Amino acid sequence: MIKAQKLTIGTEVQYEGTAYAVEGFAGSVVLLRSTHGNVIRLGLRHLVTSESFKVLGVKNDEVFPVIDGASKEKVKAASVLVTHLLEAMTGYRSGSEADAIQGEPFPGYDPVVTTMAARFELKANELKVTSRTLWNQKKSYEAHGIYGLIDGRAKRLRTSTIDDRVKSAILTVVTSLKDESNTTKQRIRRLVERELKAKFPDEQIDLPPETTFNRRLDDLTKGIGLFGAAKQRRSIANRPEKPYSHFVATRPGEMVLIDSTPLDAYAMDPYSFEWISVELTIALDLFTRSLVAWRFTPKGTKAVDAAFLLADMIKPKYKGYDWAENTKFAYVGVPESIVIEVGNDAPGSPLAAIPFIHPESVIIDRGRVFLSEAFSSACRHLGINLYIARPYTPTDKSHVERVFKTIRENFVLNLDGYKGPDVWSRGSDPGENAFWFLDEIEMKFTEWVATYWQQRHHDGLSLPNVPDLHISPNQMFEEGIARAGFLYVVPDKNLYYELLPTDWRTIQHYGVELRGLRYDGDILNDFRDQKSPYPTQNGKWPFRYDPRDRSFIAFYDHTLNQWHELSWLGIGPVHRPFNEMTVSYAKALVIENGGNKNNHKELEASLHKLLNRIDDQQMLGRKERRLAAVNMMNTTSSVRDKPTKPTVSAPDGEMQLLSTNGDLDMWEPSKSASEDQVTTDTSAAKKFRTVAEAQDEDEDDGDFFNL
């Protein structure tokens, strides 16, 4: 055992080669006097941590390392033996007359009238051991304390009895199985035998018995998940060898983690009312652990969905009318009505208790969606730094990985249509109860975030000055903005167009051809057959398109600083949005019928026939039903992100001048994705609704949904 070395007045110590005696203490300062009379004052911490410090008068062989291998029963038995030895040595079980118990010294142990030899002989008879054994125990106790009385076999450190060559072969085989499917211990034993014969062909190396081999195999593979989930085993194998450090954030929005995962539940197909797989993409603020944005999309998240997730972080979220009162946002520094009016999405509705921030940096993995040009361009436009995690290293985003587990256990698990994380956890028919539509799942998730996630205590959050205080993400957000401040920047009304993917195309006499479809509008009359002013694009112009709604593209007029929507030339009398997948399927149908997919008339006819079948719910086969469902979900998502019409960014005075001169006819060819009917009446396109008309239309919509 380690004998305590106490510093008291008079203790002799050595410091930097000189002997000193302790003369006194003043708080954490110790006063030392050398043999020559020199006095020095040192901090106690500095003294005892110095390499030259040593307490004099303590022999090296008196220090015995503490061995924790002994069981509690062995230590307890040794403690009882100590009392017997002390009684034989001193006559008192405590070892001191001052601490004598009632009746001590007992007969035969009185140190005044008996010798130590007689007491030891009496004690040996009492314990039924030989006198020599007892004297040996006394010697061991005086040398090593209580641990000297414990059987050496109980203190012996566990050592490996397996041949080092066998151990090396086991590790080699286990490493080679990292990317394979799960196997058995019997197969590993055979592979180890084969490895030993290959490495040591001239030596006879016997493996230990099967039980011993399996026990050593478990010891050597502990923590690598050899017999667990194969995906987890690969993830563990890719962990960094050195202890890894996490990203550290000091204020809200400084670092945001983004990731996607398949949702362990089915959503309802709005056409055939069958289940459809869903993906969830979330954004987690590292400092507050707040969920600041999320998107539910059909399986196969698009880059544009990830781009608009950035915009969702900036937008306030609104409280449901039936939510608890504590889900109302605690506004910061300004009247709440101003904050709500800034949102401009649901005037008069209270904000939900979910932070909205402008992120400084985001951390993503190497998913194709996040490495796309559309996502990186959106980050550049919003002034967000982009960090990419190392491949196959989930520890770089361990926080968001853990959030997915909580979402599955506390939210998805309670949804009808829950299908489990894998096929082994799946019920007999989870799709039978999947009656939640995608927008309904998103609304319920928003409520879950506001009522559960943002309100509950998070173990990963703490305040340095009050480390034991339980903190929720919302409370951490309040603490962060109290220190770092809160500044809400109103999003650009043209943000929708700025975040769309860009394609560079020439403007021809017929309009613009983009990804197989042609578009046109009156605004192009001033730019037809002209080269663009962008010197690095060989005369091409930038056009923005939404993969979720290919019925239009957006054109930026740099002369007026204004966006315009150009409609698809084959749009027809009724506006029917369609996504990129629908266009690709229509091209496949043209090829299947022996046509030319590059022929615009044939593609237009094929696309209209497909849209007609979707409208009439006469889809041919399961693939078209899934196509129709995804198309409708994408359209809904696009309409939610899209403003009612492009916004002119010119100053107010310039706008008034344009309106007076009647030069605002650029709205007439622009068709919104939310419009149900295309009109050719210019006056109708310019007409604004009154408040009464808008209320009447809202009432009509309510009657429709109540059918």
- With vertex at residue 445, the alpha carbon angle to CA 443 and CA 446, rounded to the nearest 5 degrees, is 65
472 and 527 housed in the same domain: no
Separation in Å, CA 316 to CA 139, 322, 339, 349, 355: 78, 18, 9, 11, 8
Task: Tell whether 692 is covered by a domain.
Answer: no
pLDDT by residue (tens digit) across 203-236? 888 888 888 888 888 887 776 767 767 666 666 6
Do 391 and 363 have their domain in common? yes
So what's the pLDDT on residue 299? 79
CATH code for the domain in which residue 412 is found: 3.30.420.10
User: Which of these ranges, 64-68, 87-91, 95-99, 538-542, has the smallest mean pLDDT?
Assistant: 64-68
What pLDDT, in 10s, does the model give residues 431-447?
A: 455 567 777 888 889 98
Q: Token digits for 3?
A: 């004998």
Average pLDDT for residues 261-290, to the nearest whole number? 81
Domain boundary among 206, 237, 268: 237
pLDDT > 70: percent of the chain: 75
Task: Please give the C-alpha separations between residue 235 and each of 219, 229, 258, 388, in angstroms, as whole numbers.
Answer: 20, 10, 19, 17
- Residue 64 Cα distances to 126, 259, 606, angstroms: 30, 53, 88
Tokens (6 digits) for 526: 């001033």
- Which amino acid is residue 683, in one-letter code? S
The verdict on 226 and 356 lying in the same domain is no
SS3 of 673, please? coil
Residue 242 tokens, joined:
């050195």
- Measured from the Cβ of residue 279, the count of other Cβ atoms closer than 10 Å reads 17
Query: Would you say residue 420 has pLDDT above 60?
Result: no
The pLDDT tens digits of the residues spanning 538-564 come to 889 999 999 999 999 999 888 888 889
Q: How far is residue 134 from each of residues 89, 90, 128, 490, 637, measured CA to CA in Å? A: 11, 14, 10, 87, 86
Domain presence at residue 683: no
Is the pLDDT at 24 greater than 90? The verdict is no
pLDDT for 661: 38
Q: Tokens at residue 211, please?
A: 């039980």
My answer on whether 540 and 579 are in the same domain is: yes
* Pick from 194, 195, 89, 101: nearest CA to 142: 89
Domain count, the chain: 5
Whether residue 705 is predicted with pLDDT greater than 80 in this model: the reply is no
Residue 597 counted as domain residue: yes
What's the CA gap between 473 and 475, in Å, rounded?
A: 5
* Rounded percentage of the chain residues whose pLDDT exceeds 90: 14
242, part of any domain: no
Q: 């993906």: which residue's tokens?
A: 279
Does position 350 have pLDDT exceeding 50, yes or no?
Answer: yes
| Residue 682: inside a domain | no
CA atoms within 13 A on the CB side of 359: 32
Q: Which residue has the higher pLDDT, 309 or 75?
A: 309
Global pTM exceeds 0.75: no
From 533, 517, 489, 599, select the one nearest 253 (Cα to Cα). 489
Q: Where are the alpha helices (DSSP H) in 547-650?
A: 580-592, 600-615, 621-641
Q: Is the pLDDT at 294 greater than 90, yes or no?
A: yes
Dump the DSSP string for 167-220. Answer: HHHHHHHHHHTTTSPP--HHHHHHHHHHHHHHH-TTS--PPPPHHHHHHHHHHH
For the ranges 52-56, 346-350, 412-416, 667-671, the one whose mean pLDDT is highest: 52-56
> Does 391 lie in the same domain as 264?
yes
| Burial (CB count within 10 angstroms: exposed 0-12, middle 13-18, buried 19+), residue 467 | exposed
Q: Residue 652: is its pLDDT beyond 50?
A: no
Residues 234-258 have pLDDT tens digits of 666 666 565 555 677 888 999 999 9
Q: What is the average pLDDT value for the chain, to the nearest integer? A: 76
Please check whether residue 539 lies inside any domain of the structure: yes
Average pLDDT over residues 37-57: 80
At 504, is the pLDDT very low, low, confident or very high (cuts 50, 70, 90)?
very high
Q: 501 with 558, same domain?
A: yes
Do 55 and 96 share a structural domain? no
| Burial of 428: CB neighbours in 10 Å, binned 0-12, 13-18, 19+ | exposed
pLDDT of residue 650: 38
**What pLDDT score was predicted for residue 642?**
83
Q: Which residue has the higher pLDDT, 349 or 99?
A: 99
* 208 neighbors 170 (Cβ within 8 angstroms): no
- Nearby residues of 443 by Cβ (< 8 Å), 6 or more positions away: 320
For 558, the domain range is 495-676
- Do 117 and 181 lie in a common domain? no
Q: Are 459 and 509 found together in one domain?
A: no
If asked whether residues 356 and 472 sit together in one domain, one would say yes
Weakest-pLDDT range from 563-567, 583-587, 635-639, 653-657? 653-657
Regarding whether 579 and 434 lie in a shared domain, the answer is no
Poorest-pLDDT segment among 156-170, 328-342, 500-514? 328-342
Is residue 247 domain-resident? no
* CA of residue 509 relative to chain centroid, distance: 51
Structural domain includes residue 706: no
Among the residue ranges 266-275, 348-357, 558-567, 622-631, the one predicted with the least confidence is: 266-275
How far is 219 from 233, CA to CA, in rounded Å?
16
Same-domain status, 479 and 505: no
